[in-house]
Amino acid sequence: MHEFRLPGVIHFGWGAVEKVGAEAARLGRRAMLVMGRGAMKRSGTAGRVQKLLVHAGVECVVYDGVESDPSGATIDRGAQLARREGCNLVIGLGGGSPMDAARGIAAMAALEGSIIDYIRGKAVDRRGLPLINIATTAGTASEITSVAVVLDEEREMKMGARSPFWFARVAITDPELTMTMSPQLTAATGLDALTHAVESYLSTGATPPSEALALRSIALAGRHLRAAYADGSDRSAREGMAMSSLLAGMAFANSGLGLVHGLAHPLGARLGVPHGLACGRLLPHVMRYNAVVAPERVAAVGTALTQEAQAGADEAIGAVEALVRDLEVPPGIGDVVIADDQMDVLAKEGLMAGAVRTNPRPVTQEEALAVLEAARAAR
């Protein structure tokens, strides 16, 4: 028997952001709008959302201090402000970090202690404030999932926690909001979406629904990611990547992920490697590791990505490497400055992530280190 969960309502398509006013009014009358430190204001998206909320009769309290990796302190401060201002609704606007922060703030407005307590294992026993998440990138799928990834500053670790209570009531994926992404951000978020789909498909928690969603996501990324990177005004490519991200999120929210995400977190927390780029750089190496136990499934990834019959797992891995190369992303992590004594720490901390529990091949610290060494040797 399998369980499959999604947000209460998903709005997808050009102009879907226009739904935010009516949906917010249905859920509350005083909203906290959670954003990063400037991108949404510069693009005009924040002002657009605020106008839609005012027109619907929803008051808005802006919380725009979210950093690229939201810290526990940032989320706790946001929750305190939400309680102090009498907010009864939280809206996340942006990429993965603001949406994860919004999820954490909505949760902590009703919970005791710090978000770090729950990241470290304390049980979530109640629903938080209603949450609406609006994606402005095509990769993280944080509008769809129940996971909050938070920087534990004391331990210098990015960790994730999930709860069925943490799904958004409303998820909005509007390709129009992704049109301003730079080529570099398009590549990074696109590789994140692809990694979500590949790891979901290979996961030990995969089910027939999640497998179908993951394979469709991979196919969309194979068809549209290069085009979106080459020409950000290509509406077909932007829509294809928005859908690829959405479907990957639906898949991995229910199946779990794998070793790529486990190792990507310490690369981000300790060395500042952007999450999507860390995923793309590590993905071929983890696929090669997992191909030992799942060669046919790895080969199926290649078939979905290229829409051509693949001879085997090696060809599938080569197809991923070619995509990374075409996006002008360095192979592996050889250009990242990593002290030799840090490698063991990265391997150890990578295995602490919950994502590794559903990797198709069990992983020891020595094997995780070997994957990292292979990625560091890539040229």
CA separation for the pair 357, 70 (Å, rounded): 24
- What's the CATH number where 118 sits? 3.40.50.1970
Both 172 and 186 in a single domain? no
Note whether residue 1 is domain-resident.
no
In order along its 379 residues, the chain shows pLDDT tens digits of 788 989 999 999 999 999 999 999 999 999 999 999 888 998 999 999 999 999 999 999 999 989 988 999 999 999 999 999 999 999 999 999 999 999 999 999 999 999 999 999 899 999 999 999 999 999 999 999 999 999 888 888 888 888 999 999 999 999 999 999 999 999 999 999 999 999 999 999 999 999 999 999 999 999 999 999 999 999 999 999 999 999 999 999 999 999 999 999 999 989 999 999 999 999 999 999 999 999 999 999 999 999 998 789 999 999 999 999 999 999 999 999 999 889 999 999 999 988 999 999 999 999 999 999 999 999 8
Both 335 and 297 in a single domain? yes
Note whether residue 2 is domain-resident.
no
The per-residue pLDDT for 58 is 98
Note whether residue 4 is domain-resident.
no
Both 44 and 96 in a single domain? yes
End-to-end CA distance of the chain: 44
Structure tokens at 258: 């794998």
Domain that holds residue 138: 9-177
In the sheet that holds 59-63, the strands lie side by side as: 9-12, 170-173, 131-135, 89-94, 30-34, 59-63
Note whether residue 200 is domain-resident.
yes
Burial 240-251 (b: 16+ CB within 10 A, else e): bbbbbbbbbbbb
The per-residue pLDDT for 156 is 84
Q: Which tens digit of pLDDT belongs to each residue from 124-159?
A: 999 999 999 999 999 999 999 999 999 888 888 888
User: Domain boundary residue among 177, 193, 221?
Assistant: 177
Count the domains in the chain. 2
